[in-house]
Copies of this chain bind each other. A is one copy, B any other.
Amino acid sequence: MSGVKVTRDQIVDRAYELLAEAGLSGLSMRRVALDLGVQPGALYYHVASKQELLAVVAARILKGLPGVAKDPREAAGDFRSALLRVRDGAEVVSFVQAYRPDLLVPTHALRRLFTGKYDERRAEWAARTVVHYVLGFVAEEQNHAELVRAGIVEEEPAHSGDSDEAFGFGIDAILNGLS
């Protein structure tokens, strides 16, 4: 009836907010449409598919990450922090890395940091090694958090600083081995 106008930016904004608030299972095309006061089909005039939408959302998750990082350790930490800011952030970014690897800033930034020590091929591999570790680590953190939230799994008594230490242990080992 009404014929409300929607922009691509509004769609991306709402999708990002839904992801942050409700996680990946709460982010549906139909819910985005409902929140924007529009029929589901209307979204497909602005966005080709949910996958394309997720790619743009992933880019937004990583927006603000330094294109040129100081050192790899800090870059990995910033990467993890950005992922943790949004529910299921690692899963979304992990998918997009396979979908549109060019959209992901951290890999570029890390590759540049290794370009001095290695040839181009190995610098790429080194960057991906770090990225894979971070994504794997945070994916487990967030999957666990989702299960706790759903009441399927009980929270472990281990205090939260523990996972920071575990994360640090891992990248230190990796960066150590890479140099």
How many chain A residues sit at the interface, stated as a range, is 35 or more
With A99-B143, A143-B94, A143-B95: A173-B126 Cβ-Cβ less than 8 Å: yes
Judge whether B169 and A125 touch: CB under 8 Å.
Answer: yes
Judge whether A132 and B170 touch: CB under 8 Å.
Answer: yes
CB of A14 within 8 Å of the partner chain: no
Pick the contact of A128 from B98, B131, B135, B166 — CB < 8 Å? B166
Chain A residues in the interface with B (C-beta under 8 A): 51, 94-95, 97-99, 122, 125-126, 128-129, 131-137, 139-140, 143-144, 146-147, 152-153, 166, 169-170, 172-178
Judge whether A169 and B122 touch: CB under 8 Å.
Answer: yes
Q: Knowing that A98-B153, A132-B137, A177-B178 touch, tell me 15 more A-B residue pairs with CB under 8 angstroms.
A: A95-B143, A98-B139, A98-B144, A122-B169, A125-B166, A128-B140, A128-B166, A129-B174, A132-B133, A132-B140, A136-B136, A173-B177, A174-B174, A174-B177, A175-B177
Main secondary structure of the interface of A (DSSP, over half): helix
By beta carbon, the residue of chain B nearest A169 is B125
CB of A150 to closest CB in B, whole Å: 9
Judge whether B174 and A94 touch: CB under 8 Å.
Answer: no
